[in-house]
Each structure stands twice: as C-alpha cells, then as structure tokens.
A and B are shown apart, each in its own frame.
Chain A
Amino acid sequence: MDELEFLKKDWKKQDGNYPKLSFEQLYQMILKKSSSIVRWIFIISVLEFVFWTILTLCLADQEYWKEMEKIHLKGFTIALYLVGYVITFYFIFKFYKNYRKITATDSASVLMENILNTRKTVKYYIGYILISTGFTFLVYTYFTFKYHIANMKVKNSSLYEFDLNQWLIFIGAFLVFMLVFLGVIWLFYKLLYGILLNRLHKNYKELKRLEIEN
C-alpha cells in the first residue's frame, strides 16, 4: 500500500485522541498577545522609522545651521530636509498600506509575498537613508573645504590645500570609512532579519520553485 494511504488510515483513527480544550480555556487564549513575526516586523520597522527621523532631527541644532550658513549650504540643507520628509512620509504611507494587506486569510504564497513586500519597503527606506547620507556627506565635505579656508582668512592658503597625494589618501580613507560603516549596518540587518525572516524566505522559495520549474 502507498505509504501515505497507510498513514491516512491511522491518522483518521486518531481523531478522538486529541486534547479537548474547554470554552473557558479557549476564551482565555484569545485575550493573549500575538508573538508572530508580523508583529515583530511592525515593531522593528516603526522603531527604524523613528530612529532615523530622530537622528536627522537631533543632528540639526543651531550650531549646525550656523555652520551650514558659513559654507553656503543653508538653502540646500533646508531643501534637502523638505525632500527628505516627503520621501519619509511616502515610505511610511507605503509601509502602512503594505502592512494592512497582510492577512492570514490569504493563501500561503500571497501572505508570504505581502510580508516580504512590507519588509522590502523598510529595506528601501534604509537604502535611501544610507545613499542620501553618503551623498550629502560628500557635498558637505566639498563645500567645507571650499569655504572653510576662505572663512578662516588664512594668509597663505596654499598651506591648507591638498596636493594630489593627500586627496587620494583622503578619498581612500573616506571610502574605507564608508565601507566599514555600511558593512556594520549590513551585518546588523543581516543578523536581525536573518533570524526573523530566514524561515519565511526558505518556505517562499520552496513554494515558488514549483512555479518556476513548471
């Protein structure tokens, strides 16, 4: 006999052997809080949005704005902040929309896709933050060098200028610093979401593998 048929026969015989929980016991269960991965993803994502927003707000104190004025980037920074907020709101809106779509009444593959899409929105947001931070850092560095010397009113400005070698060292050090910085963040996310989403990724791939093969 087919192995599964053999198992099915026994499986059916055991219908009466399962524990029977009372109405009261089941009622107590619906009052408890979920510990599902979706709940965790929601909490972590909200924390990420809050963390990065607060970070950009905290960095911009009065000193910071004065400094921006000195290097002629105040207008640029204000514009950057405005654009930044519009983009952040867009991401939060998209995240919320995707999150609302997650429902256990969908089929397994649709449910998995919705969870991964929600997660992806936050991933893109972090990507955007990193790229825009890198970009503004470069612009600020350039303008600081350009105007700082003028602001300091040094007599022999050539003493404060970099020659080619120094520029190369500077750019090299900057790249190494950026790589280490990105590496640490990448590792952090790999670990965090590796733990949380590893199983989901595996199962999703397993489901989708069938679609691709046929």
Chain B
Amino acid sequence: MDKELEHQFVSNLEMHQNIVHKICRIYTNDQASHNDLFQEITIQLWKAYPKFRGEAKFSTWMYRVALNTAITLYRKKKRSIQTQDYDTVHFRIQAQEYDPQEEQQLKLMYNAVKELNDIDKALVFLYLEDKNYKEISDTLGISEVNARVKMNRVKTKLKKILNP
C-alpha cells in the first residue's frame, strides 16, 4: 500500500490512540498483554483501513475494529506472571486529588469490571465512552432493545460483584 495512505493512517491513529489504550485497559491485566493487544489492534485497523471510506468519523470506525479485535480476533497468550495492581498502579499514579475512600471504591469497581465477560466489558466500555444505545447496538450487531436490557443486567451484575 502506498506511503501516503500509511502516513495518513498512522497520523490518524496517533491522534486517536487513547481509544486503543482504553480498550486494552479493559481487556488486559498486565502491561505485556496490553502491549500485545495494542499491537494486534493496530494491525487490524491498518488491514481494515482501505475499507474505511470516511462515511463515519475515524474514531467511530476505530471503536468497532478495535473492539472486534479485543473480543473476537485477538488470541490471548498465556502468561505466568500477572500484575494484580497493573490497573491501579499504571493509571492512577497521576491522579491529582486523592481521596483514599473513593480510591478504594474505584479500585473495587475496576476489578469488578475485569470480572465481567467479554461482551459485558464491551457494553461497559461503550457506556463509559458516552456512546448511545444506537451506537452500542450497531457496534455489537444486536438490537437497541437488547442493548438496553443487557446494560441493565450488567449494572445488576456489577452490583452483585461489589456487594456479594
């Protein structure tokens, strides 16, 4: 593929790379897996890029390809070492206001999300990213009604995990 396309793609990706990092954060538990998934998502985005016709925003298109990679295409590698606190250590270090109680509650919340299945994680992720039910249902390929029902169930599940 030509250089111009490569350049255009990488520039777009550089600008919107947060989306990929956030998906990696939801779907992985340690830095090495985060990097692996990030790598695979980048390849899949690049492979699918010729099909991106600019009808949607680049970022909207990215959500779909990146989530598809995390849920379906990515082959998880078995790792012996798992950094339990990867999530909190890695992402909370720069938090400015520090409230130990809130901090603890957030840690529990993030851990609870990690316990959900892949589809529920996708729902939570899209919700956290402020996507409406139309976008959620389009991304996952389910009806809007089902997206709503499912989201309510996820909320109940999270409550159960947090208050067993």
By a beta-carbon cutoff of 8 Å, the part of chain A in contact with chain B is: 2-4, 6-8, 10-11, 13-23, 26-27, 29-30, 32-38, 40, 103-112, 115, 196, 199-200, 202-203, 206-207, 210-211, 214
Within 8 Å CB of A26, what residues of B? 10, 13-14, 17, 42
Q: Is the pair A29, B64 in contact by a Cβ cutoff of 8 Å?
A: no
Q: List 18 A-B contacts (CB under 8 A).
A: A4-B124, A17-B92, A18-B21, A21-B14, A23-B14, A26-B10, A30-B9, A30-B10, A34-B40, A35-B75, A38-B73, A104-B47, A104-B68, A109-B140, A115-B72, A200-B72, A202-B118, A207-B142
The 9 A-B pairs at the shortest CB distance, nearest first, are namely A107-B141, A109-B141, A36-B73, A18-B21, A210-B146, A30-B46, A29-B42, A104-B65, A104-B68
Task: Assess whether A3 is in contact with B162, with CB atoms less than 8 Å apart.
Answer: yes
Across the interface, do B18 and A18 meet the contact criterion of CB distance under 8 Å? yes
Q: How far is the CA of A210 from the CA of B95 in the complex (A)?
A: 38
Binding site for A on B (CB under 8 A): 6, 9-11, 13-14, 17-18, 21-22, 25, 38-40, 42-48, 51-52, 61, 64-65, 67-69, 71-76, 91-95, 105-106, 109-110, 113, 117-119, 122, 124, 127-128, 130, 138-143, 145-146, 149-150, 155, 158-159, 162
Contact (Cβ within 8 A) B119 A207: yes
* Chain B interface SS verdict (over half): helix
A79 to B72 Cα, complex, angstroms: 42
Q: How far is the CB of B9 from chain A (nearest CB, A)?
A: 7
Is B51 within 8 A of A32, CB to CB?
no
A105 touches B48 (CB 8 A): yes
Q: A203, B71: Cβ atoms under 8 Å?
A: yes
A30 touches B72 (CB 8 A): no
Q: Residues of A contacting B64 with CB < 8 Å?
A: 104-105, 107
- Given contacts A6-B109, A8-B128, A32-B43, whether A104 and B21 have CB atoms under 8 Å apart is no
Residues of B within 8 A of A7 (CB): 106, 109-110, 113, 128
**Bound: A106/B106 CA distance, A:** 33
